[in-house]
Amino acid sequence: MVVVMGPEATEADIAAVVSIVETAGGEAFVSRGVARTIVGLVGDVDQFGSLNLRGMPGVRDVIRISVPYKLVSRENHPERSVVRVGGVPIGPDTMTLIAGPCAVETPEQTLQAAQMAQAAGATLLRGGAFKPRTSPYAFQGLGEQGLRILADVRAETGMPIVTEVVDAHDVELVASYADMLQIGTRNAQNFALLQAAGEAGRPVLLKRGMSGTIEEWLMAAEYIAQRGNLDIVLCERGIRTFEKATRNTLDISAVPVAQRLSHLPVIVDPSHSGGRRDLVLPLTRAAIAVGADGVIVDVHPHPETALCDGPQALVDGDVRELARLVRELPPVFGRTLTEPADALTTAG
Amino acid sequence: MVVVMGPEATEADIAAVVSIVETAGGEAFVSRGVARTIVGLVGDVDQFGSLNLRGMPGVRDVIRISVPYKLVSRENHPERSVVRVGGVPIGPDTMTLIAGPCAVETPEQTLQAAQMAQAAGATLLRGGAFKPRTSPYAFQGLGEQGLRILADVRAETGMPIVTEVVDAHDVELVASYADMLQIGTRNAQNFALLQAAGEAGRPVLLKRGMSGTIEEWLMAAEYIAQRGNLDIVLCERGIRTFEKATRNTLDISAVPVAQRLSHLPVIVDPSHSGGRRDLVLPLTRAAIAVGADGVIVDVHPHPETALCDGPQALVDGDVRELARLVRELPPVFGRTLTEPADALTTAG
Amino acid sequence: MVVVMGPEATEADIAAVVSIVETAGGEAFVSRGVARTIVGLVGDVDQFGSLNLRGMPGVRDVIRISVPYKLVSRENHPERSVVRVGGVPIGPDTMTLIAGPCAVETPEQTLQAAQMAQAAGATLLRGGAFKPRTSPYAFQGLGEQGLRILADVRAETGMPIVTEVVDAHDVELVASYADMLQIGTRNAQNFALLQAAGEAGRPVLLKRGMSGTIEEWLMAAEYIAQRGNLDIVLCERGIRTFEKATRNTLDISAVPVAQRLSHLPVIVDPSHSGGRRDLVLPLTRAAIAVGADGVIVDVHPHPETALCDGPQALVDGDVRELARLVRELPPVFGRTLTEPADALTTAG
Amino acid sequence: MVVVMGPEATEADIAAVVSIVETAGGEAFVSRGVARTIVGLVGDVDQFGSLNLRGMPGVRDVIRISVPYKLVSRENHPERSVVRVGGVPIGPDTMTLIAGPCAVETPEQTLQAAQMAQAAGATLLRGGAFKPRTSPYAFQGLGEQGLRILADVRAETGMPIVTEVVDAHDVELVASYADMLQIGTRNAQNFALLQAAGEAGRPVLLKRGMSGTIEEWLMAAEYIAQRGNLDIVLCERGIRTFEKATRNTLDISAVPVAQRLSHLPVIVDPSHSGGRRDLVLPLTRAAIAVGADGVIVDVHPHPETALCDGPQALVDGDVRELARLVRELPPVFGRTLTEPADALTTAG
């Protein structure tokens, strides 16, 4: 059961709802989105029915939700959400390109990759400072030094940054640099991390687990939402199957399925899905055509020396084609490529 | 090793190549495509090298192929092939829509479905007379009676027909009615059926096995090609994975991967991939955008009473949107929707 | 709905049941097992209820079955079945070892492999004369010549033979030599072949499809049963998953699951599951321990020169260990290794 | 490259090795097992070759390892390891039964479950105080209160306890109560947690990721080992496949495969593999027969009211059969059921 607060609701109104639910033996989880605040109730639903919550000050609606992911479900939230990252929207009317290096290696490489990203039409910069690697002997990222490089490149280019956090206790540190926190496929059920991200005050990019069902993915989002953060963007990045011609199998159907079940934006990562440079542009076209709200791609100035996932990074020659693609294709489907954050700011 | 015959080669030239190979203890498989004839050699490659095949009359080239699917590989055939079905092309410059009922049930239902298909822009009619069903108690198709209905609807509408064959010994019968033979996902490694289809003198639509790798799919095509038939169209129709929100998982990446490995056209079946009506149009958009050479969809005038796969069939309301889509989207990618066979014939 | 005939039922009694069902617009499928005859009814169950089938001569019982595999279900057949192959039982009280070469290559190799099989305790000889191969360029088996070799080796060793059939129209030929027909994993949904095997008058070894669910496997068995043959043995041989350390993933749980759902015997193929010689003995131990009714393994006198699946064939050194294992382990679980057919015959 | 220190090596000897490697620009990871200390080197292997490490005091051997999991590989450690948990061995000569409730709910339930476990022959008590749950609305465990209950039950029964830790920053807390730390399937690539467990001074039970390959599982173990802890037990608990009759698919082959690749003990969890009570005993038999070094099962005094995974918990009636099984079956394979810790202590 979910209590939807009106825009006029005060903190005292919210606190009163929480209090009455707890007094009745239930639990109440307050989630604050851009547009409105929602209180998710756990406990004896029939008893909540007798509390007359609907009559309390600031309450707009009280809704029973049939699915287990109550706060991110589209059942009580038919309009699809827009999540803003440093001013850049990700949502149903736009197509947002996020690009950058898989891993932050040096200031020069990161700046060059950011310039490639901008040339391609990207408005958000991706780049990993903390890298989860299958092997403990592989490059694990530069850590805070990488975050500082990202912040410098943001200052230089004006691009808000999206970067991964791999441990609950790094969330505060990463959030102090990042405009958006990324949670990777290996942490799709790291519930401590999801909860910490829910409390960090930053939008979250939540990748699907490589063997996670769509329902499990939405439940992971619910962990974040339950801690008060509805600014979540879902990212399909390929699932693990028997096929070995590609690194993972992009589940393109997951985009419309997740968009029907949840109000959250859904984007696609064609780089990690295929794991092959030659598939990135075809899969980007497919992602835009199927209705994705954005795309996140790896670019690298010198992929042959990349410390991480070089074989899938786009190079200079691909960037022009990507730029053409992300400008020309979205309008066919009633969307426009998002404008840079500074253009947006200046315009505003 | 593959011997490519020139257009001027006579039957006697081909027979001479076969003879010298067999005398040397090898096997020779002759494949006749629209544009040229190829002889695939099996046996001791080094010994073949000493036969001076290149100097024989009618021989244009002798090529070593590194992959196990020699005749369908793009290694010795860099230009992508066009396969013609009753005059309708399927290939790299066009986008061909194939539509019709999953199963032929009655003359009226089949004609109405064909008219829906035409209204949507389809130039080929699909419809099953022999249905492979998981349960022996499910409707198995009308058999030859269904083939007669398809032939009548072809006469009425001018649409060439694509229909499934499920047993090697029905191939001759089905080929006497059909313009294109379909081999379904459950028969993707029914080698007797593949070989029979290779000798039937009809183009073949070869669906990927639901758990078949891309390599196994190309090897299945090689079974057909080896019997002399290179008019093969590959069809991606979803693979079996752990995800249960969709009936199968459309492996959209398989389209560009297969197109890179093989010269054969590759189309997509969005109806059987998702198994849900609401996914057919989004997945059709993705298929066209990723570069598929065609799309095959289920339509039904009354899906609620369909004897087979009703939940995934498009209805009247969807047809207008599909028609718009298949006309407007392919030109964005440099393709045009194929014209009807009679228009082609008249034009020709 | 299923009509169970009593042992005293005559052919005329059975025909009368079929006739009354067909007159009522239904279909009736007669299945003759060793112990009793069953008639499966398809159509309007409520109408069948009004026919008073239970009162007809020879009818022992009329049962509604809730699952779609009516004839092979354990719902109406709680005791587990025994299938006899040339006198050798496969069923709940015994452990039957089937062994032999993957493919019949020469008379010498087949005889030596059969002697290895006997030394290991096998009472049935496996060996393929028709081989379904992923590549059309791979060895496809010796065909009828291979069947003749198997028959000669049977005459020499007294071992009944189990051999694969890959095309519906070879069933009669193969059945004229074989004691048991094997249907392989690639043909698990080749319904024409399943139906032909159902009419062949021989017991059938039905391998699970490499991506088939347990329910689909039982439905495949139902296709055989519906044509009148209940002498079916199910064989788990590994499923296709993401793990590549083994050729397939042996689904050991499928043995008790299938035994609970169906009355048919269930055996395990540890050779094709793992695809590695070093796993055959551990997986054989697991199969016996989990309760399999038998095990089928590849042996080869010279696996390094085998034309098919050499890396998984047991060699001489393994045979002694296998012999010890299949004698000592079954009694721990209340079973005994089956005796040779000639011992059974002599004893009888 | 791995430096194996002799038993006589001092801390100064180890520090000297680390120092010379770091001076040469490499990294050195010290792992202390029960029997010996190993130093894993990362960096330029050729340069290490010139350091004459073999001649340094305390060094027994210097080995190049070809696989990426150097410390847990069997290449440099042919004898299989024994890991001791509160005095109870898990290793190649014994079969260790670990049992207890999925989740600690109350002191009474935990004590009763521990008594059931002992009656079944278990020498280690499992029980979850921190539960990773797919839904944020599901019971998440009692936390530290649950750990205190486990400690009380240990005092009462003498059973060392195995309990899960789900967040790197709880490791110290959990290690202060537990005899063995469990890392669950959802955290199989939570590298921060793996590293923290590597420093906790407790043996670790590492479950395989539900979609993790065997190689990824060994790499996860390497993360633990690299931080100095070689007391790791691997646990196969079922992988995610297309089959839905069971919760997961027990990959029984993974036991011998992992035992060949790594010197670490490997056990099986038949409860979470199948997710069904009726499969626990058959899968336990298969696990023992295939050569597992132990089995971990769920038991619950009242599974119908269990807060977690009731449908798979064994009940009183099953316990007698389990007790018989774990005593009678291991000797067939040259193993004995481990004795209780207090018996070991008293004996010692």
Interface test with A, best of B208, B215, B239, B243 (most A CBs within 10 A): B243
**Residue C15, both tokens:** 């025909």
* D262 backbone dihedrals φ, ψ, rounded to 5°: -130, 150
Instruction: Please indicate whether, in this complex, the C-beta atoms of B244 and D244 are within 8 angstroms of each other.
Output: yes
Residue A34 has pLDDT above 80, yes or no: no
Do B284 and B199 lie in a common domain? yes
Give dist(CA C93, CA C89) in Å, integer.
9
Instruction: Please indicate whether, in this complex, the C-beta atoms of A273 and B253 are within 8 angstroms of each other.
Output: yes
Cross-chain CB nearest to B219 (options C134, C170, C240): C134
Instruction: Please indicate whether, in this complex, the C-beta atoms of A257 and B239 are within 8 angstroms of each other.
Output: no
Q: Is residue D37 part of a domain?
A: yes
Interface test with C, best of B134, B183, B185 (most C CBs within 10 A): B134
A262 band by pLDDT with thresholds 50, 70 and 90 = very high
Do C96 and C59 lie in a common domain? no
pLDDT at A195: 94
Give dist(CA D55, CA A156) in Å, integer.
53
Do D37 and D171 lie in a common domain? no
**Residue A217, both tokens:** 């993915």
Q: Is residue D249 part of a domain?
A: yes
For the residues B222-239, what does the mean pLDDT come to? 94
State the burial class of residue B54 (Cβ atoms within 10 Å of its Cβ: 0-12, 13-18, 19+).
exposed
Give dist(CA C296, CA A30) in Å, integer.
60
**Residue B117, both tokens:** 């298909």
pLDDT tens digit string along B77-112? Answer: 899 999 999 999 999 999 999 999 999 999 999 999
Q: Is residue C71 part of a domain?
A: no
Instruction: Please indicate whether, in this complex, the C-beta atoms of B279 and A256 are within 8 angstroms of each other.
Output: yes
Give dist(CA D88, CA D118) in Å, integer.
14
C33 band by pLDDT with thresholds 50, 70 and 90 = low
Reported pTM: 0.91
Taking chain C, what is the end-to-end CA distance rounded to the nearest angstrom?
Answer: 38
**Chain B residues in contact with D211 (beta carbon < 8 A):** 242
Task: Kindly identify which residue of chain C lies nearest to residue B215, measuring between CA atoms.
Answer: C134
**Residue C137, both tokens:** 């360029």
The 8-class DSSP code of residue A209 comes to P
Do B9 and B103 lie in a common domain? no
- Cα C74-C80-C85 angle, rounded to 5 deg: 125
Residue B347 has pLDDT above 70, yes or no: no
**Chain B residues in contact with C143 (beta carbon < 8 A):** none
- The domain boundary, picked from B17, B33, B63, lies at B63
State the burial class of residue B115 (Cβ atoms within 10 Å of its Cβ: 0-12, 13-18, 19+).
middle
User: Which regions of A165-316 does DSSP assign to beta strands (E)?
Assistant: 180-183, 204-207, 232-236, 266-268, 294-298
**Residue A98, both tokens:** 């996020």
Give dist(CA C116, CA C132) in Å, integer.
25
A170 band by pLDDT with thresholds 50, 70 and 90 = very high
Look at the block and give the residue holding tokens 């100035």.
A301
Residue D35 has pLDDT above 70, yes or no: no
Among A190-204, B227-241, C12-26, C87-101, where is mean pLDDT lowest? C12-26
Residues of chain D contacting B, Cβ within 8 Å: 211, 240-242, 244
pLDDT at D16: 93
Instruction: Please indicate whether, in this complex, the C-beta atoms of A191 and D68 are within 8 angstroms of each other.
Output: no
Do C48 and C88 lie in a common domain? no
Q: Is residue B70 part of a domain?
A: no
Q: Is residue A278 part of a domain?
A: yes
Give dist(CA C269, CA C250) in Å, integer.
9
**Chain C residues in contact with D286 (beta carbon < 8 A):** 252, 286-287, 289-290
Give dist(CA D150, CA D152) in Å, integer.
5
Task: Kindly identify which residue of chain D lies nearest to residue A28, measuring between CA atoms.
Answer: D137
| SS3 labels along A34-72 | CCCEEEEEECCHHHHHCCCHHHCCCEEEEECCCCCCCCC
Q: Is residue A123 part of a domain?
A: yes
Host domain of residue C256: 83-345
Q: What is the mean pLDDT of chain C?
A: 92
Cross-chain CB nearest to B282 (options A215, A250, A256): A256
Task: Determine the distance in angstroms separating the CA of C287 from the nearest CA of chain D, rounded to an integer.
Answer: 7
Cβ atoms of A55 and A91 closer than 8 Å: no
Give the CATH number of the domain where residue D26 resides: 3.30.70.1140
Instruction: Please indicate whether, in this complex, the C-beta atoms of C134 and B240 are within 8 angstroms of each other.
Output: no
Instruction: Please indicate whether, in this complex, the C-beta atoms of C256 and D288 are within 8 angstroms of each other.
Output: no
| Residue C223, helix vs strand vs coil | helix
Residue B35 has pLDDT above 70, yes or no: no
Cross-chain CB nearest to D253 (options C256, C274, C329): C274
- Give every CB contact of residue C16 below 8 A, 6+ residues apart in sequence: C56, C57
Do D39 and D105 lie in a common domain? no
Give dist(CA C343, CA C328) in Å, integer.
20
Among B160-164, D11-15, D252-256, D286-290, where is mean pLDDT lowest? D11-15
**Max alpha carbon distance in chain D (Å)?**
65
* B202 backbone dihedrals φ, ψ, rounded to 5°: -130, 145
Residues of chain C contacting A, Cβ within 8 Å: 211, 240-242, 244
Strand D37-42, strand D27-32: pairing: antiparallel
| Residue A296, helix vs strand vs coil | strand
Look at the block and give the residue holding tokens 């009593």.
C6
- The domain boundary, picked from C33, C63, C93, lies at C63
The 8-class DSSP code of residue B189 comes to T
B138 band by pLDDT with thresholds 50, 70 and 90 = confident
* Element (DSSP H or E) covering residue D4: strand D2-5
**Residue C217, both tokens:** 């496997």
Do D51 and D88 lie in a common domain? no
Rounded to 10 degrees, what is the CA torsion of A329, A335, A340, A341? -160
CA-to-CA separations, D171 to D182, D196, D245, in angstroms, rounded = 10, 7, 36
Q: What is the mean pLDDT of chain A?
A: 92
Question: Between C249 and B342, where is the model more confident?
Answer: C249
Do A88 and A59 lie in a common domain? no
CA-to-CA separations, D255 to A100, B81, D251, D267, in angstroms, rounded = 41, 48, 8, 7
* Element (DSSP H or E) covering residue D194: helix D191-198
pLDDT tens digit string along A177-229? Answer: 999 999 999 999 999 999 999 999 999 999 999 999 999 999 999 999 988 89
pLDDT at C348: 35
Task: Determine the distance in angstroms separating the CA of A130 from the nearest CA of chain D, rounded to an integer.
Answer: 11
Q: Is residue C78 part of a domain?
A: no
* Beta-bridge partners for A96: A294
pLDDT at A27: 84
**If we measure between CA atoms, which residue out of D39, D46, D49 comes closest to residue D15?**
D39
Q: Which chains touch D (3 or more CB pairs under 8 A)?
A: A, B, C
**If we measure between CA atoms, which residue out of D44, D83, D43, D78 comes closest to residue D61?**
D78
For the residues B312-331, what does the mean pLDDT come to? 93
Residue A348 has pLDDT above 70, yes or no: no
* Element (DSSP H or E) covering residue B295: strand B294-298
Rounded to 10 degrees, what is the CA torsion of A13, A18, A23, A25? 150
For the residues B34-56, what does the mean pLDDT come to? 81
**If we measure between CA atoms, which residue out of B199, B195, B128 comes closest to residue B161?**
B128
Task: Determine the distance in angstroms separating the CA of A243 from the nearest CA of chain C, rounded to an integer.
Answer: 8
**Residue C14, both tokens:** 């059975």
Q: Which chains touch B (3 or more CB pairs under 8 A)?
A: A, C, D
C343 band by pLDDT with thresholds 50, 70 and 90 = low
Tally of structural domains, chain B: 2
Give the CATH number of the domain where residue B185 resides: 3.20.20.70
pLDDT tens digit string along A14-27? Answer: 999 999 999 988 88
Q: What is the ipTM for the molecules in this complex?
A: 0.89
pLDDT at B305: 86
- CB-CB neighbours of B292 under 10 Å: 30
Do C121 and C33 lie in a common domain? no
Do A207 and A117 lie in a common domain? yes
Classify each residue of C187-199 as buried b or exposed e, where b means 16 or more C-beta atoms within 10 Å of its C-beta: bbbbbbbbbbbbe
* D316 backbone dihedrals φ, ψ, rounded to 5°: -50, -45
Instruction: Please indicate whether, in this complex, the C-beta atoms of B286 and A246 are within 8 angstroms of each other.
Output: no
Do A51 and A198 lie in a common domain? no
Residue D43 has pLDDT above 70, yes or no: yes
**Chain C residues in contact with A241 (beta carbon < 8 A):** 242
**Chain D residues in contact with A136 (beta carbon < 8 A):** 191, 219, 222-223, 226
Q: Is residue D286 part of a domain?
A: yes
Q: What is the mean pLDDT of chain B?
A: 92
Give 3-state DSSP helix, strand, coil % of chain A, rounded to 5.
Answer: 40, 20, 40
D152 band by pLDDT with thresholds 50, 70 and 90 = very high
Question: Between D308 and D237, where is the model more confident?
Answer: D237
pLDDT tens digit string along B154-212? Answer: 999 999 999 999 999 899 999 999 999 999 999 999 999 999 999 999 999 999 999 99
pLDDT at A272: 94
pLDDT at C344: 52
**Chain B residues in contact with A273 (beta carbon < 8 A):** 253
Cross-chain CB nearest to B68 (options C68, C135, C222): C135
Residue A76 has pLDDT above 60, yes or no: yes
Task: Kindly identify which residue of chain D lies nearest to residue B211, measuring between CA atoms.
Answer: D242
For the residues C134-147, what does the mean pLDDT come to? 89
**Chain A residues in contact with D168 (beta carbon < 8 A):** 167-169
Task: Determine the distance in angstroms separating the CA of C242 from the nearest CA of chain A, rounded to an integer.
Answer: 5
pLDDT tens digit string along D96-151? Answer: 999 999 999 999 999 999 999 999 999 999 999 999 888 888 888 999 999 999 99
pLDDT at C1: 82
Do B54 and B167 lie in a common domain? no
pLDDT tens digit string along D266-317? Answer: 999 999 999 999 999 999 999 999 999 999 999 999 988 888 888 899 988 8
- The domain boundary, picked from A32, A63, A94, lies at A63
* Beta-bridge partners for A229: A32
Residue B348 has pLDDT above 50, yes or no: no
